[in-house]
Structure 1
Amino acid sequence: MAVPPRVPQSASPRAEHTTDLSKADFRVATAAQWRQAVETGEVSCVELTTTALTAAGTMSELGAFIHLDPEFALTRAEQQDTTLNLLQDHMTARELRHAAPLLGLPTAFKDLVPVAGLPLTLGTAASPVTVPSQDAPLARTVHHAGAISIGKTQVPEFGLPCYSENQVADPARNPLDVTRTAGGSTGGGAVAVAAGILPVAPGSDGGGSIRIPAAACGLVGLKPGRGRIPDDDQSRSVQNLVTSGPIATIAEDAALLFDVMAKQGPTAQSIVQEALATGLAPLRIGVTTESPFSPDLDIVLAEDAVRALETGISMLGRHGHQIQGTENCTGPERFWAEDYHQNFQALWTARLADLNLSSKQEEHLEPLTRYFLESARARPQAVTRASVAALQEFADDAHDIFGPWDLLMTPMLASAPPHLGWFSSMAPEDNYVEQCRFTPYSSVVNVLGLPAVNVPVHTSADGMSWSVQLIGKYGTEEQLLALAATMAD
């Protein structure tokens, strides 16, 4: 499914897309424009929610959702419409926009995030489904901003693999080619946005889980830095890999959701709009194709991955930024930390050693998860501690990798998204290695705790999207979104 061109800022949702539900597609306008349409009464919260639910049902073969709950969503939408009518008599439009920046926008959390009243599977058949009585903090924040959850989106088991396939529901299919994976672990959320079912989706990223599906589906996905999102774990430990961030069709929409998740005013939105209007001051950008998994793994970039990187360099150069290959400053020295591959695997699987499942439940785990679990239990604690300590030292000196540059650029994916079932058809050991080869530049950003954004820049002859990754210093999320917006401008 091809993505329509960007809608000018002056546009508003067309009538046929708010009344004729057979043509539901949230990509025909920006998220901010949909929200404004609710505020002005052009469309109601119930109508937008119905549009999303209809689109989700019509495109159910994409496997975006593990669970849809129309009654749950429409009840909340009706409450939103009632509340809106009351508030409009007592608040200015500006005050209302500040109080409810996501007013009426349908969305959905991945099925790793507790949402009150919606089933929580964690993408696994090994443990019973629960129904949380309250929202997780991030879900509460997004809902308080006016967004309406319509269900839970597809994820891999416990969010571990980079493809969203499990025993619980149908796999998440890539809207650009339904025979291919949509990536993971926010695979279902990316499918819903890429297919126009939702305007934006919140995701979480522990090793690339926002950026990988965003790249696979041709979207903008922002992984904030460690501790930037107030509802996330604030620990500075390298073991705190997971951060929450937005997935959207364009950087402007990602900025809207990021501001809500970061619990700030329209900061990112203002910076993005200013960048689009006047440009950004020239930046020094270092480019590297060296993967931290090398030399342990042989990383081979597809021709389109290289072309995407070249396109990204050209785009940035046209905007006056200074681009330089990292080898010009590092010479023959290794760019990333030594022994990254083995140390990361120890870090990534260590938390599974304490997984509290019975032996009968463990029989229902995916083969890859069982492999991770057994590896974690078999690894001597001293080895795990040494790996964690080495990566902690690497993370503590994260800014050193920037050298003379303001930010770094890498490819995002090394190859096109594989066909469904390709990863899981392998022995678990090979499965994990091939995931690393497919996503050779994502996990190191989580280890370092830095922010990074995926930016689509190239479409191949077969219609697949190819991206670059921009990695920033701590606190540069807004700058990354602004740069992403100007690259698409």
Structure 2
Amino acid sequence: MNADTHAPSATHPTALELRDALRRGEVSAVELVHDALDRIAADELGAFVSAQPEAALAEAHDADARIAATPRDERESLPPLLGLPTAHKDLVDVRGAVTSHGSRAVPHVAALHDSPVAAAVRAAGAISLGKTQVPEFGIAGYSENLVAPPARNPHDPSRTPGGSSGGSAAAIAAGLIPLGVGSDGGGSIRIPSAACGLVGLKPGRGAVPADRGSGLVDEIGAPRLTVSGPIARTAVDAALLFDAMRGLTAEPSLAAVRRAHELRGLRIGVTLRSPFEGEVPVSYSPDALAALDAAVARLGEAGHRVEEADWIPDPRYPGAFTDVWTAGLARIDFGPGAEERLGELAAAFLARTRQASPERLARAARTLREFAADCVRQWGAYDAILTPALAFAAPRVGAFIAAGPEGDYRLQCEWAPQTSMVNVAGLPAVVAPMRRDAAGLPFGVQLIGRMGAETQLLRLAEQLAPSVSSR
């Protein structure tokens, strides 16, 4: 595979630029969809596992007709994403598209209805082109399974783009689509965004209306981990999608991010500590630390006070999180013989959770609730917490699986030692690219905010943007 064929390009127009061009009549939705489908057909990154060309083109024709029928001076009132191509990961039901969950152990059937998040994005006018690659049931921080070829990183196709929203991140970084919705239960928006040099926002628990039907706690009483959020090439585009996901036609986040230069005077704490540090070696590469240093400098230049954060993680976290993380597999209704078709990691996770007694799961849930309250208290001394996005460069495709289930999970914790803790805390977090290493691989940082601070985090990500292309 030629690594240059799919190298990310700075020449791809942003989602906001495309929206403006659509509204001015300079480009049509049909043209955008045709171009994107052609790119997807020629793609060798494994970003997409399926496409819906007929449905997408029909929606594009409808979008063009609606734009044409709207007077130019009234087009700002059109749905915010009208005519923009996007995609959903292969864990999300999209009407008429097959959902495989990345697994051979469950039926692959076409959905009759959109899931809540897909419905919200459709209502905002975006056109789904198909499904993107994921790990089996979304349980891993890379995007490889036994159903379709692995997703690959556009910056180096021999490496993973991360996961579980890895196919979507690869598609956005390669310019196949301008933006996309990811889901994040332990880092699944932030890990692939960081690995692919993108901006990825994990909203706080309950911030996105489509997620609220799942409740704030899960079936065993632990904090609900998974939320939906935007992945894009810029903080402005992420704000555009975040507003659309919430149905906010006034676009307050977009307006605020456009004025990001006005944000000053925040107290930002920096930490390298991880709740996994007692279980796995947490070691940051020189490039990860250089990205962190660059962010510290840039935030200081923007007028913020950046200092070391004094944070002590709960040593009970690793076992409790793993118990809760794997418990969801026990709730899947596998048919006869289906479990034999599971991948090794899913099979190991399923075996683990079946060995856990109800009392052990209840203790794990209680521990995570206590951890969440403690994080909110300790981090609450700051307006934001700054960390590396990932500990080292994206591993090679196949490296996780080759390590066996135990080594696979261990490597995931080593690579992303500071992501899942934010899901447990229920707080918002954003990752932003800062620099590239000598091989051209992106390195970024994570900013964790207080509850309700999604827009502020996107403004901080925009303030970091001028250093994206520097080393």
Shifted more, 188-197 versus 317-326: the winner is 317-326
The 1-side partners of 2:409 and 2:375 are apart by: 26
Matched residue, 2:64: 81
Provide the secondary structure at the position in 2 that maps to 1:457: strand
Shift of residue 357, structure 1, vs aligned partner: 0.8
Matched residue, 1:248: 232
- Report Cα offsets for 1:140-162 as digits up to 9, x if no partner: 11111111011101111000011
Provide the secondary structure at the position in 1 that maps to 2:212: coil
Matches within 5 A, 1:168-247: 168-233=147-212, 235-237=215-217, 238-247=222-231
Amino-acid identity (%): 45
Matches within 5 A, 1:222-371: 222-233=201-212, 235-237=215-217, 238-264=222-248, 265-276=250-261, 279-327=262-310, 335-371=312-348
Shift of residue 359, structure 1, vs aligned partner: 4.7
AA matched with 1:427: G
The 2-side partners of 1:281 and 1:418 are apart by: 36
Matched residue, 1:477: 454
Provide the secondary structure at the position in 2 that maps to 1:62: coil
Provide the secondary structure at the position in 2 that maps to 1:362: helix
Matched residue, 1:32: 16
The 2-side partners of 1:4 and 1:65 are apart by: 19
Matched residue, 1:120: 99
Provide the secondary structure at the position in 1 that maps to 2:148: coil
Give the unaligned 5+ runs of structure 2: 467-471
- Report Cα offsets for 1:293-333 as digits up to 9, x if no partner: 01122111111111111111111111111111124xx5xxx
The 1-side partners of 2:374 and 2:404 are apart by: 36
AA matched with 1:377: R
Matched residue, 2:469: none
Shift of residue 441, structure 1, vs aligned partner: 0.4
Provide the secondary structure at the position in 2 that maps to 1:222: strand
The 2-side partners of 1:383 and 1:452 are apart by: 29
- Report Cα offsets for 1:257-312 as digits up to 9, x if no partner: 00011221311101001114xx3121100000011101122111111111111111
Provide the secondary structure at the position in 1 that maps to 2:209: coil
Give the unaligned 5+ runs of structure 1: 6-26
The 1-side partners of 2:98 and 2:371 are apart by: 39
The 2-side partners of 1:118 and 1:269 are apart by: 31
* Residue of 370, 374, 382 corresponding to 2:351: 374
Provide the secondary structure at the position in 1 that maps to 2:158: strand
AA matched with 2:137: F
Q: Residues 67 and 75 of structure 2 are in contact (CA less than 8 Å); yes or no, is this contact kept in structure 1?
A: no
The 2-side partners of 1:262 and 1:292 are apart by: 32
Shift of residue 29, structure 1, vs aligned partner: 2.0
Greater than 3 Å deviation, 4+ residue runs: 1-5
The 2-side partners of 1:275 and 1:198 are apart by: 25
Give the aligned length.
455
- Report Cα offsets for 1:203-261 as digits up to 9, x if no partner: 10000000000011000000000000000035222441100000000100000000011
Provide the secondary structure at the position in 2 that maps to 1:410: strand
Matched residue, 2:425: 448
Matched residue, 1:43: 27
Shift of residue 3, structure 1, vs aligned partner: 4.4
AA matched with 1:465: P
Matched residue, 2:443: 466
Matched residue, 1:94: 76
Across the aligned residues of Structure 1 and Structure 2, the Cα RMSD in angstroms comes to: 1.4
The 2-side partners of 1:72 and 1:159 are apart by: 26
The 1-side partners of 2:234 and 2:70 are apart by: 30
The 2-side partners of 1:227 and 1:117 are apart by: 28
The 2-side partners of 1:360 and 1:373 are apart by: 14
User: Under a length normalisation based on structure 2, what TM-score does the superposition of the two structures give?
Assistant: 0.94
The 1-side partners of 2:38 and 2:366 are apart by: 50
The 1-side partners of 2:206 and 2:124 are apart by: 21
- Report Cα offsets for 1:430-487 as digits up to 9, x if no partner: 1111111111000000000000000110110000000110000000000000110011
- Report Cα offsets for 1:154-184 as digits up to 9, x if no partner: 1110000111001111110000000000100
The 2-side partners of 1:481 and 1:52 are apart by: 27
Provide the secondary structure at the position in 2 that maps to 1:127: coil
The 2-side partners of 1:289 and 1:417 are apart by: 19
* Residue of 30, 35, 50 corresponding to 1:67: 50
AA matched with 1:109: H
The 2-side partners of 1:372 and 1:429 are apart by: 10
AA matched with 2:62: Q
- Report Cα offsets for 1:339-384 as digits up to 9, x if no partner: 1111100110112222211351000000000000000001122111
The 2-side partners of 1:378 and 1:143 are apart by: 41
Provide the secondary structure at the position in 2 that maps to 1:434: helix
